[in-house]
Amino acid sequence: MPTDTTRTPSRLAHTLAAGRDRAFVGRRAELEWFAAALDGVPEARPVHYLHGPGGIGKSTLLRVFAGLAQRGGRPVVEIDGRTVVPTPEGFLAAAGTALHQPGVVLLIDTFEKCQGLEGWLWERFLPQLPVGAVVAVAGRAEPELLWTSDPGWVDLLRVTALRNLAPQEAAEFLHARHVPASVQQAVLEFTGGNPLALALAAVVAVKDGAPSGDWRPSQDTIATLLRQLIGSTPSPEHSRALEVCAHAYVTSESLLRAVFGVRAAELFAWLRVQPFIESTGAGLFPHDVVREALEADLKWRDPEGFAEMHHQMREVHLAQLRSVPESQLLQATGALIFLYRTDRQISEFNVWREVGLVEDHPYVESQREQVLELVRRHEGEESAAIAAFWLDQQPQAFRVYLATQTGELCAFSAWLEVVEPVGLEVDPVVAAAWRYARANGPLRSGEYLALARFTIDATAYQRPAAATTLAQWRATGEMVRGERLAWSFVVMRDDGYWDGHLGDINMMPIDSPPVVGAHRYALFAHDWRTQPPGPWLEEKSAAMLAGASMADGPVRGPAELVVLSRPEFDAAIRDALRTLRRPVALGDNPLNRSRLVQESGKSLTEVLADAAQALLTERGGEKLHRAVSVAYFKGAPTQEVAAELLGLPFSTYRRHLGTAVERMSELLWHHELNGH
């Protein structure tokens, strides 16, 4: 019996190692390097520094390295930073005989726990290892630039930032763990290929049976991931900064300043050195699984806090989109839309990961035939003739998308702006849009309607792709920034594909879709005077947070605004002034549901009082202000009495009052049209 007891651990260890080897996937380049170093290939560098966030697979890879070395007959010494006294003496004690064994393989894991020894490691310890030794160091932090740029180490050291598994490798990982094929895509989307997240999610998916693609990680899985990937944070503000970073497309210091004020610089500096945070030219963003876990945890743990953060960030991004120069329109629009990415209708029609495959450029005349050929190929000669007409009329409305790698034109789009009924006899689509707007809310002076008239990708046509995503972003940005935009129309092939997505953002198809050649086209309309961008996004937020659709009706928010013509508006102003002292009658005034009042956050009485006060800033405005104040705000019983109180002839008083009301209407009409 004692013999069996002694042998059992060996058999279990062998079985355990074999199981781990079978489950291991990916890391081909790292394995090739290690094998070359073991074989003494001259080009192979003997020291490899691996760094990456928790859960990325550093420890697993070191275990595989150890197995390869042992099977090759090399002595292996393994040091774990979690168990080492972080002093030179403690490290030397853990290394044992490594300094003196020919061909030793030294594997140092969790080096971040003894990061203070980094200088000593490079200057004192590693140079003492015998020739032929192979070293692999793994930690969360990358090595200091001092060592990677040292000319002495440049031919000896290889530094690798471990990344998530590639999609094919991650699929192999899940297959090896018997995860049902029906949920593998959902698991991949949540984990982003992070090995630890894949392992935990695989266990849950297999245990739960996971019968459909609606799989979601359990809260226990999310909590475990956050402990392993992030650990503890220095303060609640640091935790909040992480949550903001997870919700934003990219996080800049200016974004943090809008949320946290004076602590922004400190929090940004902390974020940028975290191993699970990446940097780009635009700012910081977390690894996919960190983003997903933080978002899911906050939504479950504090839904009101998530909603508050979302609303605050929406207003910041909306203000940025309205103020950025034209060159930053796409970037700002994409960042705003990203706040809604957890809404499936948004995520399925926007391919954020692929947008870098194409570049957006203004159309130039030399690209005319390429653009028209794309139209002919996908929509026919009749549509190409219409495109040619608009290329002549509004060449500035067209954008082209060039493949990043080849520079070839692969897609284009157009944003037509129409003030007068031009081209109606040429383009049935624009004619249908003009008729619809005229019947349901005619343009007022200075207003225009716009159409996302063409969206054509060489391969995908009008299905989600890099170019169609950028075309959507440009159209959305133009809608948000269009100060005098009355109607917008998104034009798509009438095959039902876009109905759900566009209906979900309050863009509904009009009746009687127009026909061009052999194809019908759906026009999805939105009246921006009845629902301006701010309330539009607010309603979309409410729907997303409630798990609903805007197509089902507003979850909450103000009633739809009214759109008044100028004569109707002037009449409503006069009526409001006459009923200022009769609250019930004033409450029935249509101005209460106008953009003028709804966007001001004030009552109709306050809006009128502000307009009267503004008269004082104009030349001769004092006499106008006195006339309207006595007549309406102070409530003289009759106009004759008002004239007497002002000490004016009745005809002079009537002239002052009429001019005052006209000027107030002018000022308020400007606010109604422009929103400010």
pLDDT, position 96: 83
pLDDT in tens, 319-365: 999 999 999 999 999 999 999 988 877 878 888 878 888 999 999 99
Long-range Cβ contact pairs of 142-149 (< 8 A, separation 24 or more): 142/49, 142/51, 143/49, 143/51, 143/118, 144/118, 147/118, 147/122
DSSP E strand stretches across 332-404: 358-362, 398-403
pLDDT, position 488: 96
Whether the model clears a pTM of 0.75, i.e. scores above it, the answer is no
C-alpha dist (Å) from residue 546 to 63, 540, 542: 46, 10, 6
pLDDT, position 553: 61
Q: In which residue are the tokens 């060159």 written?
A: 327
Residues of the chain with CATH 3.40.50.300: 12-161
- For residue 648, the one-letter residue type is L
* H-type alpha helices, 195-287: 195-208, 219-229, 236-247, 253-260, 264-272
Q: What is the mean pLDDT of residues 538-543?
A: 90
pLDDT, position 30: 87
Highest mean pLDDT among 48-57, 117-126, 181-190, 360-369: 360-369
pLDDT at 9 over 80: no
Euclidean distance between CA atoms 108 and 293, whole angstroms: 29
In CATH terms, 359-526 corresponds, of 1.10.760.10, 3.40.630.30, 3.90.1200.10, 2.30.30.240, to 3.40.630.30
Residues of the chain with CATH 1.10.10: 228-339
pLDDT in tens, 288-309: 888 888 888 898 889 999 999 9
Instruction: Report yes or no: 48 and 107 within 8 Å, Cβ to Cβ.
Output: no
Instruction: Report yes or no: 398 and 436 within 8 Å, Cβ to Cβ.
Output: no
pLDDT at 50 over 60: yes
Read off the DSSP letter of residue 251. B
pLDDT, position 332: 94
Name beta bridge partners: 49. Answer: 137, 159
Burial degree of 601 (CB within 10 A; 0-12, 13-18, 19+): exposed
Q: pLDDT averaged over the chain?
A: 86
Least confident of 205-214, 240-249, 342-351: 205-214
Long-range Cβ contact pairs of 234-239 (< 8 A, separation 24 or more): 234/270, 237/263, 237/267, 238/267, 238/270
Q: What percent of the chain has pLDDT over 90?
A: 36
CATH code assigned to 228-339: 1.10.10
pLDDT, position 290: 84
The fourth-level CATH superfamily of domain 12-161 is: P-loop containing nucleotide triphosphate hydrolases (3.40.50.300)
C-alpha dist (Å) from residue 537 to 301, 318, 468, 534, 541: 25, 9, 21, 5, 6
